Amino acid sequence: MDPTGTASHGGDRVAAALVANGVRVIFTLCGGHISPILVAAKARGIRVVDTRDEATAVFAADAVARLTGTPGVAAVTAGPGLTNTITALKNAQLAQSPVLLLGGAAPTALQGRGALQDIDQRPLIAPHVKWLRQVRRVAQLGPAVEQALATARDGVPGPTYVECAVDLLYDEAVVRGWYADAAGKGRSWADRALRWYLNRHAQHLFAGSRPAYVPAARNVAVPDPSERSVAQAAAALATAQRPLIVIGSQAMVDATHAGRLAEAVERLGVPVYLSGMARGLLGREARLQMRHARRQALRESDCVLLAGVPCDFRLDYGRHVRRSATLIAANRSRHDARLNRKPSIEAIGDAGRFITSLAARVIERARRPEWLTTLERRDAEREAEIDAQAHISGTHVNPVGFLRALDKAAADDAIFVADGGDFVATASYILRPRGPLAWLDPGAFGTLGVGAGFALGAATVRPGAEVWLLWGDGACGYGLAEFDTFVRHGVAVIAVVGNDAGWTQIAREQVKMLGDDVGTVLARTAYHEVARGFGAEGLEIRSDDEVAAVLARARSLAAAGRPVLVNVWLDKTAFREGSISM
């Protein structure tokens, strides 16, 4: 960037567009194809956080998007750098997270000619993003990034992709020098033709780039549901005897709206189940929030509001809601609102705003004391069962008891990141997020490996918060090397590995149904020693009586700025017997 602030190369244009649109951090794994973007971003005050795997970079960007509402940004190099992101990109798409992926590419004049890491990237990425642009001129870089950031947030949020070939990113004089060297100084007709072609190609690349690029922030309108749908829903709730609300991640797209949404739910007075990013919306002890027996409650309810929740496998494809009930679907996506069940009332628009508008219309609280008491009694009965299971002694650590202890120990500002199968699914029933936007899990895709990236993203945008990464021993294998990243960037995550030496969620049903544990057996690996090898702190728990002291030690180390891994030797449990999902 020159002293006047004018962009001096393409990387500056990309960085300028990011800054203008509120981006404050980029996650990356370095590569020569994208170096000008990273250098320019740092020069403009954007934090550059480099990871050990491109998937981690995208997962981290996904977490930033979920926690802030501003698109998370990842930048990766061409070819294998890009292909390594596809699982993380698909996870963001299915979770409806506004993520921008910046991808490098081979020089425009060499694409399709066997250049380093040159592949046709468009067909690989296109199915997993809502918008894609392969930029062909330097002047188009800034506007393409602006459009990508806006499109990621517009309507149903999701990932977008901008491909920036390497010869668009470096200084014009440098790029023209590359092409001059490639053309050589031969006098043959072919040599002269090549020089003419490359010179014309360079002129095309830089056409229109002489004027200074002035970045602009692009506002995106939040889609409001119709007044008619709000009125219909208010009338249905007013006459319902057993109303119920299920709130999902999509209702939390506008992260700044979380407080108003929580107030609206309380005003409505309707019992509510929270899922995904909505966990913690009402705090730890809200009377209206139910945690157990959701299936039974849905079957008994005569009016169900699904706010940002589709009728997918998590709701048994809509079969949990009885046919005679009034089904209200509030969703930004018409497809999701109608998935597997046609709603009685369809409210297409932001689900969070729908609930807020609904609460403003309902004069009399919809609470039905007998109905609420019934649901509370079931919750209390299930909590008593969990307490009983938490006190069962075994050879090592009772996972239910451990999670009870962790819930008690974690700070009031704790953020829980869930990455795993059996251990983490158990945690979802026991841990109580402290407030809105304090729980991160993969979402509908059920992706293992999100943990390190999600924890990195959470710690980056919530500095000072206590970040707990809950890893199954299988899942931790995807991101264990990111302890190197945590150490280098001073990210004081507390990772807890539930080490039961197996892929237990799979083994439980596989052994029962097929009589073989093939592929599901792991070892009691010393994961804490691996963390120490990366320069972090490693702690181990092998018995129940060690839990309280080690958790306290982990919190103390993290408070001092040290990333920590706690390796917990778990006993097997039947807590989630029969929980296979399809």
Assess contact for 471 and 496: CB atoms under 8 A. Answer: yes
Amino acid at 248: G
Residues 544, 398 within the same domain: yes
Is residue 352 one of the residues assigned to a domain?
A: yes
State whether residue 475 is helix, strand or coil.
coil
The Cβ-side half-sphere exposure at 281, using a 13 Å CA radius, reads 33
> With contact defined as beta carbons under 8 Å apart, do 544 and 401 qualify?
yes
Are 429 and 519 contained in the same domain? yes
Q: What integer pLDDT is reported at residue 385 of this predicted model?
A: 94
Q: Which residue has the tokens 């996870």?
A: 91
87-100 pLDDT, tens digit per residue, is 999 999 999 999 99
Quote the strand ranges of 1-50, DSSP E.
25-28, 47-50
One-letter identity of residue 407:
D
Nearest to 247 by CA among 225, 265, 229: 265
* CATH number of residue 111's parent domain: 3.40.50.970
Strand 47-50 vs strand 494-499: parallel, antiparallel, or unpaired? unpaired
Residues 201 and 254 in one domain: no
The torsion angle over the Cα atoms of residues 200, 204, 208 and 214, rounded to 10 degrees, is -140
Contact 19, 213 (CB under 8 A): no
pLDDT at 582: 56
Among residues 337, 369, 401, the one where a domain terminates is: 369
Structural domain containing residue 39: 10-206
For the chain, the helix, strand and coil percentages under 3-state DSSP, each to the nearest 5: 45, 15, 40
Residue 324 inside a domain? The answer is yes
Structure tokens at 340: 């597997």
Claim to verify: residue 185 and residue 234 sit in the same structural domain: no
Is the domain of 441 the same as that of 299?
A: no
Based on the fold, state whether residues 421 and 481 are members of the same structural domain.
yes
Is residue 166 within 8 A of residue 32, CB to CB? The reply is: yes
**What pLDDT score was predicted for residue 489?**
97
Provide the 8-state DSSP code for 197. Answer: H
Alpha-carbon distance 554 to 402, whole Å? Answer: 14
Contacts of 362 by beta carbon, 8 Å cutoff, 6+ apart: 234, 237, 238, 267, 268
Residue 253 DSSP one-character state? S
Asked whether residue 216 is assigned to any structural domain, the reply reads no
- pTM: predicted TM-score of the whole model, two decimal places: 0.95
Residue 579 lies inside a defined structural domain of this protein: no
Please give the tally of structural domains in the chain.
3
- Spatial CA neighbour of 504 closest among 402, 403, 421, 400: 421
For residues 356 and 414, membership in a common domain is answered with no
Contact 302, 326 (CB under 8 A): yes
Q: What is the reported pLDDT for 3?
A: 37
Same domain, 239 and 139: no
* CA–CA dist 33, 100 (Å, integer): 17
| Residue where the block lists tokens 């895709």 | 445
> What SS3 string covers 105-154?
ECCHHHCCCCCCCCCCCHHHHHHHCCEEEECCCHHHHHHHHHHHHHHHHC
Considering the domain boundaries, does residue 576 fall inside one?
Answer: no
Measure the CA angle with vertex 145, ends 157 and 10; round to 5°: 160
Which residues, listed in sequence order, are joined to residue 27 by a DSSP beta bridge? 49, 74
Q: Using alpha carbons, list the distances in angstroms from residue 258 to 68, 247, 281, 517.
A: 11, 12, 7, 44
Tens-digit pLDDT string for the chain (582 aa): 443 344 468 999 999 999 999 999 999 999 989 999 999 999 999 999 999 999 999 999 999 999 999 999 999 999 999 999 999 999 999 999 999 999 999 888 777 788 778 788 999 999 999 999 999 999 999 999 999 999 999 999 999 999 999 999 998 888 888 878 877 788 888 878 888 888 888 888 888 888 889 999 999 999 999 999 999 999 999 999 999 999 999 999 988 889 999 999 999 999 999 999 999 999 998 999 999 999 999 999 999 999 999 999 999 999 999 999 999 999 999 999 999 999 999 999 999 999 999 999 876 665 688 999 999 999 999 999 999 999 999 999 999 999 999 999 999 999 999 999 999 999 999 999 999 999 999 999 989 999 999 999 999 999 999 999 999 999 999 999 999 999 999 999 999 999 999 999 899 889 999 999 999 999 999 999 999 999 999 999 999 999 999 999 999 999 999 999 999 999 988 776 655 655
440 and 500 housed in the same domain: yes
Distances from the Cα of 551 to the Cαs of 190, 545, 565, in angstroms? 72, 11, 10
The label of the residue with tokens 């194809």 reads 33
Q: Fill in the amino acid letter for 61.
A: A
Where a domain ends, among 334, 369, 404?
A: 369
**Claim to verify: residue 395 and residue 521 sit in the same structural domain:** yes
First to last CA, the chain: 53
- The H or E element spanning position 488 is helix 483-488
> Quick one: 365 and 418 in the same domain?
no
99 within some domain: yes
Q: How do residues 154-172 score in pLDDT, each as one tens digit?
A: 999 999 999 999 999 998 8
Buried b (16+ CB within 10 A) or exposed e, 294-309: beebbeebbbbbbbbb
Residues 509-564 pLDDT 10s: 899 999 999 999 999 999 999 999 999 999 999 999 999 999 999 999 999 999 99
- Check residue 2 and give its pLDDT: 44
Q: Please indicate, yes or no, whether residues 364 and 424 belong to a single structural domain of this protein.
A: no
CATH classification of the domain holding 343: 3.40.50.1220
Q: Is residue 581 part of a domain?
A: no
Residue 474 token pair: 């299988």
Let me know if residue 88 belongs to a domain. Answer: yes
Distance between CA atoms of residues 412 and 549, nearest Å: 19
